[in-house]
Amino acid sequence: MAGTFPLDIAVPGSDLDVLCYWQEAGHFKQHVTNSFSGFENFTLREVTINNQHTIITNFFADGLEVEVFGQNIPVKQQMAYRHMIIEYKILSKKGDNFRQQVIALKQSGLKTEPAFAQLLGIEGNPYTALLEFNV
């Protein structure tokens, strides 16, 4: 798992992110389709993110949106995981007031990485700049 739930910064409408590493795209697509196609609003799409073939499945389970995100990259090397680790370190260092500010920005409509970047004064692309932030 990655994203807002493990970091305790989820807001209404946040989805539960599940990161996966696959070695064969066809097998992964078949597995997630067999496992989750019966859930509400099931979708599966293939996109290229950071030059990586990516398979994303979304569905709702018990009213919660779930996103299964798979790439042919070990999970700990995927951007979402790396963001989560850096954000965890920042939250641990900055404390609850900072956490509440992140939540407030997310409630106003900002995504997680842009919220962190705004509060930390990080300029440029928040998704890449956050990875270089010195915690």
Residue 34: CATH number of its domain: 3.30.720
- What does the pLDDT look like over 59-114, one tens digit per residue? 999 999 999 999 999 999 999 999 999 999 999 999 999 999 999 999 999 999 99
Q: Tens digits of per-residue pLDDT, 112-129? A: 999 999 999 999 999 999
Q: What's the pLDDT score for residue 110?
A: 95
Q: Which amino acid is at 95?
A: G
What residues contact residue 48 under an 8 Å CB cut-off, 6+ apart?
Answer: 54
Q: Is residue 119 part of a domain?
A: yes
- Residue type at 54 in one-letter notation: T
Mean pLDDT value across residues 29-41: 98
- Largest pairwise CA distance in the chain: 45
Q: Taking 90 as the threshold, does the pLDDT of residue 135 lie above it?
A: no
Which H or E run includes 38?
none
11 found inside a domain: no
Q: In this structure, are 69 and 83 located in the same domain? A: no
User: Does an H or E element contain 81, and which?
Assistant: helix 79-94
- Tell me: pLDDT of 134 over 90: no
Range of the domain at 90: 78-132
